[in-house]
Structures are given as C-alpha cells and as structure tokens.
Amino acid sequence: MKVTKFGGSSLANAFQIQKVCDIVLSDDSRRIMVVSAPGKRTKDDTKVTDLLIAVAEARLSGRDYSKELSAVLARYIEIADELNIQKVIPSIEEKLIRICKADFKDNVTYTDSVKAMGEDCCAQLVAYHLNAAGHPAKYCDPWEYGLFLEHDAAGKAVILDESYDNLSRLKEETDTINVFPGFYGYSKNKEIITFSRGGSDITGSILAAAVDAEVYENWTDVDNVFAVNPNIVKNPFPITEITYDEMRELSYAGFTVLHEEAIYPVFSHSIPLNIKNTNNPSAKGTWIVAKRTHFDSLVTGIAGESGFATVTVNKYLMNHQVGFLASLLGIFADEGIAIDHIPSGIDTVTIVLRKKYFTKEKEDVIVRRIEAELGAKCSVEHDLAIVMIVGQAMANSVGIMARAASALSNAGINLRIVNQGASEISMMFGLSESYCSYAVRVLYKELFRY
Ligand code: ASP
C-alpha cells in the first residue's frame, strides 16, 4: 500500500485536482490520499489556509467576517463548478459556517479549528469527485479514525502514540480510496489541533507509518529536491537520493520542500519517502531512504536560514562551577524555550534559539533571571543565520571544512559560530543574517564546482 500526500499547489484548482485523481487512479496500491488545502492558483493568489486565518482574525477581533468567509467558499465553489460536482457544496458550506461561528474556549483553539477547514473541505470535495466519476472513495474524519494530538510544553502539536494503532485500520480498507485531510487531528476532548504550517506532510508520514506503507509519496510541484534553494542559485544540482538524517538536517535549516517534522514517523518505521511532481509524474523524484545506494556528489545539500537569536552568558571561572550549565538550561526550560545549539568557551556559553519563540517578554525574564540567579553577564543578539553543509559522503573526507571556511573568508563573510557534529554528516556556520543567501551561494560555488 502506498500513501500519497498532495500539497496545496497540486490542489489549487479543478485542473490540478483532476491530475491528482489521475495519479491516484493510475496505481491500485495508492489507497490513501492525504490532501492539503487548495494553494495559490497564481503567484499573487492567496492560499485557502491564509484566507481562513483571515476569517479567524476577523472574528477574534469582533469584526464581521462574512467577506473573508465568502472568499474561502468561492474557492470551493469554483472548483466544484469546474468539476461539475456542485452538489458537494451544501455540506462543505454547512460545516465551514458551523465551525466559523461556533462558540470557542480560547483564540488558539478557535483559530486551529477554522484553519483546519481548508484541508477538511478539500478532502470532502476530492472524495466526492472520485465517487461521482465512479471510483469508490471516502472522506476520512480524523476524529473517527483516532488521529489524536496534544500540545507539548512549547505549544507544539504532537501525536499521541495510540493514534498509530487507531489509524492502522486503514490498512484493511482497500476497497475504497481513503481521502484523509492533512494538517490536523483532535485532542481527546474533541478539539481540533493543527500542526504548524505545511503540516499535511506530517499527517501523510503518520499515516504511512500507521499502515506500514511500502512508500510514502509526497507530491509537490518540483521534480526533485535540489542541492540548494533554487531561489538562491539558478538550476541547482538535483538530489536523486538522500538519507532521512541528511534531509532532516537540511529541512532544519530551511529546506521547505518537506516539513521538518515529517521525517520522523517514516524514519522510525523505515518507510522510504519519495518526493514527486504532480505536474510531471513520470520523473523519478527524490528518494529519502535509510541507506544510500549511490552518491552523486560529496556534499548532498546546502541550506541557510535566518531567524535565530543568541544569548551569550559570561562568567569568570564558569567551568569550575558545578551545575552552572544545568541551572542555565533550567531557566530556558522553565520559560518553555527550546534551544537549538550551545557553543561554548571556557568562561562563556552561547545559547542559540529561534527568534519566533523568543518574545520580548521572554527575553526580559530570561536575562533578568540569568543575571540575578547565576550572577553572570548576559548579552542578546537577534541577527543570526545558520548555514548547514550536509552530506553523508563527507564523513572521513579531508579538507571540506577548510574549503568552505576559506571560500567564506575570501568572500568577506565573518563566521560567528562553527560546529561539526562527530557524525561528520553536517557542518554548521553561524553568521550575520544579512549574509545568509550570499554565504549559501559562495559555498555552493565552491563545493559543487559550479
Ligand atoms: N494548508 C496548510 C498550510 O498552508 C498545511 C499544508 O498545506 O500542509 O500551511
């Protein structure tokens, strides 16, 4: 059994939805489809999820949200008209309106429930279309199938383990195409919880793991994952094969083809993941696997991402003070802040974290506590980018760090942090945000001899 997940650009209009259905119907083992919400039809269009966020924002600020809601509905009406399945609209409309005007407990829960409707309505529509064309299909309600989520300490949606068992029943349901909405699940109290943006990738991975799929196909709008962001370097080297670990490192630092959290479920069940192009189904795509069968290049990919802050803590004789680091990290844990890296010296330690979680209020509390409780000096900077060079073939090869560092130094880029894990599959550079894309270009030129 194959699990197929289709992204928003693959479902943006009737023409794309027809392609998606043709892809599924062309292979009998494609029994589970996970759908995103319809994405952009043109460059300047708005994704349905963003339209829904606008609905939620309007309602939460006490404004009339009917204009925003009509914009959402118009997207589904347009698709239904073109597919000649207008009869699906009343049930989509009823659910959408019901969710949008429901009473709510708090802003986050309400926004999640509205945001999830993009995927939900899309799954209803696709299942209806398949049935109307004579192919047995059904919409799968994540509540009925037991896709249970909860929020972790940092507020992130995480799966409850029992969900895998619950969802495994889809394995037996092979007489229909099962159309599952991506991006969301339910709390045990039946409240909708969404993953972070792009989270339908995670749903697909969870379902693939639950049914022990032979492959998880993630259909998008590019032929391959590329060795570097094509918006930074023109026509970059395509990646035909990559390990879960390599992909995880690259997604961490900004590869957006696949959600960072989508790797773990398939990785933990050793299910290969194939990224494919809805607009060019015969292309082989990129295979994400446990073990590489071949290497096309020494370096697999280079990624760069802005949006990091550093908290540098300084205390004379820090290395002699037993428990100093534990107390320092305890402060971040108390404030619910995840830490990305901890480069350290003898009397200093730097905590690298994501700015989006490090609000001004959190920063003030943390700095105050470090100074008061640890008697240390503390300085915060907000302009760090992280650039990663990733490649399994780099292990045991001599001189890559030297080449990378001298290329960056010749380009006049100052390195603030340098880190190479003992596994040697990646190297990380911390540098000023304003140099992020430039650094990626410089490294690509050097390491891919471009
Ligand atoms: N529709 C959601 C988003 O735009 C989730 C997804 O497409 O995976 O982020």
At 237-287, the pLDDT tens digits run: 999 999 999 999 998 898 888 998 999 999 999 999 999 999 999 999 999
- Given 221, 247, 281, which residue is the final one in a domain? 221
From the CA of 314, how far away is ligand 1's center (Å)? 41
Domain assignment present for 250: no
Higher pLDDT, 63 or 254: 63
At 377-414, the pLDDT tens digits run: 999 999 999 999 999 999 878 999 999 999 999 999 99
Lookup result for tokens 């749903």 = 203
List all residues whose CB is within 6 A of at least one atom of ligand 1. Answer: 8, 36-37, 47, 49, 118, 182-183, 197-201
Q: In this structure, which amino acid lies at residue 207?
A: L
Residues 307, 210 share a domain: no
Percentage of residues in the chain having pLDDT higher than 70: 100
Atom of ligand 1 nearest to the CA of 39: 4
The answer to whether 148 and 160 have CB atoms below 8 angstroms apart is yes
At 160-192, the pLDDT tens digits run: 999 999 999 999 999 999 999 999 999 999 999
Question: Residue 422 above 80 pLDDT?
Answer: no
The domain of 26 spans 2-221
At 338-363, the pLDDT tens digits run: 999 999 999 999 999 999 989 999 99
From the CA of 54, how far away is ligand 1's center (Å)? 15
- The pLDDT of residue 450: 57
Give Cβ neighbours of residue 27 (< 8 Å, ≥ 6 apart): 2
The conformation of residue 413, written as its DSSP 8-state character, comes to P
Q: Ligand 1 atom 8: the closest Cα is on which residue?
A: 198
Domain assignment present for 292: no
Residues 180, 313 share a domain: no
Pocket test residue of 47, 75, 193 for ligand 1, highest count of atoms within 8 A of CB = 47
Q: In the chain, how many domains are there?
A: 2
200-214, 297-311, 390-404: the lowest-pLDDT one: 390-404
> Cα(78)–Cα(433) distance, rounded to whole angstroms?
42
Residues 316, 189 share a domain: no
Positive/negative CA dihedral, 137, 141, 146, 148:
positive
> Cα(295)–Cα(300) distance, rounded to whole angstroms?
8
Residues 444, 342 share a domain: yes
Q: Ligand 1 atom 5: the closest Cα is on which residue?
A: 198
Residues 179, 46 share a domain: yes
Pocket test residue of 200, 203, 221, 258 for ligand 1, highest count of atoms within 8 A of CB = 200
From the CA of 120, how far away is ligand 1's center (Å)? 11
CATH number at residue 199: 3.40.1160.10
Is the full-model pTM beyond 0.75? yes
Domain assignment present for 153: yes
CATH number at residue 379: 3.30.2130.10
Pocket test residue of 122, 192, 197 for ligand 1, highest count of atoms within 8 A of CB = 197
- The pLDDT of residue 424: 78
Lookup result for tokens 């383990």 = 161
